[in-house]
Chain A
Amino acid sequence: MGVIYVLLTISIVVAIIFFVAFIFSIRNGQYDDVYTPSVRMLFEDELIKENNEQSSATPKTKQS
Chain B
Amino acid sequence: MTQSTCFHCGNNCDKTVINFAHKTFCCNGCKTVYEFFSSHDLSDYYDLQSAPGAIPKEIEGKYDYLDNPDIAEKLIEFSDQNTQIITLYIPHIHCSSCIWILENLHKLKPGISSSQVNFPKKTVRITLNSEKTTLKEVVILMNSIGYEPYISLDDYTSTPKNNNHQLLYKLGIAGFAFGNVMFLSFPEYFEVSEYWLEKYKHLFRWLMFAFSLPVVFYAAQEYFISAYKGLRSKLLNIDIPIALGILVLFIRSSVEIIFDLGTGFFDSLTGLVFFLLVGKFFQQKTYSFLSFERDYKSYFPIAVTRVSKKNDKEESIQVYHIKKGDRLLIRNEELIPVDGILIEGDAQIDYSFVTGESDLVAKQSGDKLFAGGKQLNGAILIEALKSVEQSYLTQLWSNDVFSKNKTSSFTNLTDTISKYFTIIILCIAFIATSYWLIADSSKAMNVFTAVLIIACPCALALARPFALGNMLRIFGKNRFYLKNADVIEQLSKVNTLIFDKTGTITSNKKNKIEYHGKPLSKKEEALLKSTLRASNHPLSRSLYQILEDHDILTLDEYQEYLGKGIEARSAQDSIKIGSQNFIKNSNGTNALNTTVHVNANDQYKGHYVFYNQYRKGVKELFETLSKNYRLSILSGDNEGEKRHLEQLLPKNTNLLFNQKPDDKLEYIKSLQNHDANVVMIGDGLNDAGALAQSDVGIAVSENVNVFSPACDAILDASVFQNINHYLTISKRTMGIIKSSFILSFFYNSIGLYFAVTGQLSPVIAAILMPLSSISVVIYVTVLTNILSKKVSIKTNERSY
Contact = CB atoms under 8 A, between A and B. Distances in A.
Contacts of A33: 118-121
Contact of A60 (B43, B168, B179): B43
Contact of A1 (B47, B99, B199): B199
Interface string B170-207: 00110010011001000000000000100110010001
A36 B168 contact: no
Contacts of B176: 15, 19, 22
A50 B41 contact: yes
Contact of A31 (B116, B117, B168): B168
B558 interface: no
B169 interface: yes
A46 B180 contact: no
A21 to B, nearest CB: 10
Interface in A2-20: 4, 8, 11-12, 15, 19
B270 to A, nearest CB: 13
A39 B97 CA distance: 10
A19 B176 CA distance: 7
A59 B21 contact: yes
B445 to A, nearest CB: 33
A38 to B, nearest CB: 9
Contact of B196 (A1, A40, A50, A57): A1
Contact of B103 (A29, A43, A58): A43
B172 A26 contact: yes
A59 B38 contact: yes
Contacts of A15: 176, 179-180
Given A26-B168, A59-B21, A64-B50, A36 B99 contact: yes
Contacts of B118: 32-33, 36
A9 B183 CA distance: 14
Contact of B120 (A26, A35, A54): A35
Interface string A21-64: 01100110101111110011011001000100110111111101
A31 B693 CA distance: 35
Nearest to B47: A64
A22 B121 CA distance: 23
Contacts of A12: 180, 207
A25 to B, nearest CB: 9
Contacts of B99: 36, 39-40, 43
A58 B42 CA distance: 10
Interface string B80-106: 000000000000000010011001000
A27 B27 CA distance: 46
B165 A26 contact: yes
A64 B45 CA distance: 11
B192 to A, nearest CB: 16
Interface residues of B, number: 36
Nearest to B123: A33
B8 to A, nearest CB: 12
B163 interface: yes
B172 A57 contact: no
A6 to B, nearest CB: 13
Contact of B44 (A1, A35, A46): A46
Interface string B380-411: 00000000000000000000000000000000
A22 B120 contact: no
Contacts of A43: 99-100, 103
A11 B47 CA distance: 50
B39 interface: yes
Nearest to B121: A33
A58 B172 CA distance: 52
Contacts of A29: 163
Interface string B104-128: 0000000000001111110000000
Given A4-B200, A31-B168, A39-B119, A58 B100 contact: no
Contacts of B196: 1, 4
A43 to B, nearest CB: 6
Contacts of A11: 183
Contacts of A58: 38
A2 B791 CA distance: 62
Contact of B172 (A22, A34, A53): A22
A61 B43 CA distance: 9
A32 B41 contact: no
Interface string B46-82: 0110100000000000000000000000000000000
Contacts of A39: 96, 99, 119
Nearest to A51: B41
A50 B200 CA distance: 63
A64 B200 CA distance: 65
A58 B165 CA distance: 47
B405 to A, nearest CB: 26
Contacts of A61: 22
A57 B39 contact: yes
A23 B165 CA distance: 10
A56 B118 CA distance: 31
A4 B121 CA distance: 50
B125 to A, nearest CB: 10
B43 A36 contact: no
Contacts of B116: 36
Contact of A32 (B48, B163, B180): B163
A36 B123 CA distance: 11
Contact of A19 (B41, B117, B172): B172
B103 A40 contact: yes
Contact of B119 (A19, A36, A50, A53): A36
A53 B47 contact: no
A39 B117 CA distance: 11
A36 B120 CA distance: 8
Nearest to B196: A1
B184 to A, nearest CB: 9
Nearest to B183: A11
B179 to A, nearest CB: 8
Nearest to A19: B176
A35 B168 CA distance: 18
29 contacts: A1-B199, A4-B196, A4-B200, A11-B183, A15-B176, A19-B173, A19-B176, A22-B172, A26-B165, A26-B168, A27-B165, A31-B165, A33-B118, A33-B119, A33-B120, A36-B99, A36-B120, A40-B99, A40-B117, A42-B96, A43-B99, A46-B47, A57-B38, A59-B21, A59-B34, A59-B43, A60-B43, A61-B22, A64-B47
Interface of B: 21-22, 34, 38-39, 41, 43-44, 47-48, 50, 96, 99-100, 103, 116-121, 163, 165, 168-169, 172-173, 176, 179-180, 183, 196, 199-200, 203, 207
Given A26-B169, A43-B103, A53-B41, 20 more contacts: A1-B196, A8-B207, A15-B180, A19-B172, A19-B173, A22-B176, A29-B163, A31-B165, A34-B120, A35-B119, A35-B120, A36-B117, A36-B120, A39-B96, A40-B103, A40-B117, A43-B100, A46-B100, A57-B38, A60-B43
Q: Which 6 A-B pairs have the closest CB atoms?
A: A59-B38, A36-B119, A33-B118, A19-B176, A46-B44, A39-B96
